[in-house]
Chain A
Amino acid sequence: MNSQSLNQDLKNVDQLENYKIEIENLKKRLSYLEEQLADILEKKNKVGIVVFSGDLDRVLAALIIATGAATFGKEVSVFFTFWGLNAIKVKKKLSNKKWHQRLFAFLNPASASNLPVSKMNFFGLGSKMLKMMMKEKNVSSLEDLIKMAKELGVKFIACEMSKDVLGIEDEELIEGTESGGVAYFLSHSLNSSMTIFI
């Protein structure tokens, strides 16, 4: 064997090693990109909604968007906080509360059926009129939309802090409502493509 062909062989082995390393690097890069893509696709599939308001008209808008997004196949989480909690209450409970919490519970609507409208409420008359007008046009009531949202798998989350401040207990809320704080909400919202505050 002459030295020239030996040199050539050694060179080929070197080059082969280099290719192997390059392939390994490309594989790593590919799996990294695949992970990123999976993240993006997951984000695209989620929608977050904050319901701060307890006004009938506003909560209606929130629930229409929630049910619509769920129809599109999106994973929807609705976070109810402060006045928004009135929309997912099922009853008014006055016992086991401090006097100011009891006053708050007494003055706040007992359920989705008793919410005021944000404008022209006139001590509840406006709310009654809007409901009449909606019925005339065959628009679903808020109660129906809430039921529909649950059927479509929309997740309801009640703000733990608001519940604590207002003295609202789990038994006062719609069955299946989860509780969580800001971090719980953010973990949903930051991983979604759209967040709405109502």
Chain B
Amino acid sequence: MNYDVMLDVRGLNCPMPIVKTKQELNKVESGKILKVLTTDKGSIKDFQGWANTDKTIELIKQETEKDENGKEIYVHYVKKK
């Protein structure tokens, strides 16, 4: 999956993953794709809810990966419209 900017907010908890993502999106041009790494399980539904409500962003893809310690990482690809 292609992306333009990566944001690592692993370790941060609600509401920081979406807040930090929003701040990062403010910095980039529209059309750019942001890859966000989180460890907050709630962020899966958070990003979905955000994309459903805020028409300025688009949630392209979400996936779950495992880091070297076997801990789950939730990856979100967000596009600025």
Asked if A64 and B15 make an inter-chain contact with CB atoms under 8 angstroms apart, the answer reads: yes
Given contacts A72-B54, A152-B19, 18 further A-B contacts (CB under 8 A): A64-B14, A64-B15, A67-B15, A68-B15, A68-B18, A70-B19, A71-B15, A71-B19, A71-B22, A72-B50, A72-B53, A73-B54, A73-B56, A139-B13, A139-B14, A140-B12, A148-B19, A151-B23
Total interface residues on A, using CB and 8 Å? 14
Asked if A67 and B19 make an inter-chain contact with CB atoms under 8 angstroms apart, the answer reads: yes
Q: List 24 A-B contacts (CB under 8 A).
A: A64-B15, A67-B15, A67-B19, A68-B18, A68-B19, A70-B19, A71-B15, A71-B18, A71-B19, A71-B21, A71-B50, A72-B53, A73-B54, A73-B56, A138-B11, A138-B12, A138-B13, A139-B14, A140-B12, A140-B13, A148-B16, A148-B19, A152-B19, A152-B22
Asked if A137 and B13 make an inter-chain contact with CB atoms under 8 angstroms apart, the answer reads: yes
**Chain B interface (Cβ within 8 Å of chain A)?**
11-16, 18-19, 21-23, 50, 53-54, 56
* CA of A29 to CA of B42, assembled, Å: 46
Cβ distance A143 to chain B, nearest Cβ, rounded Å:
14
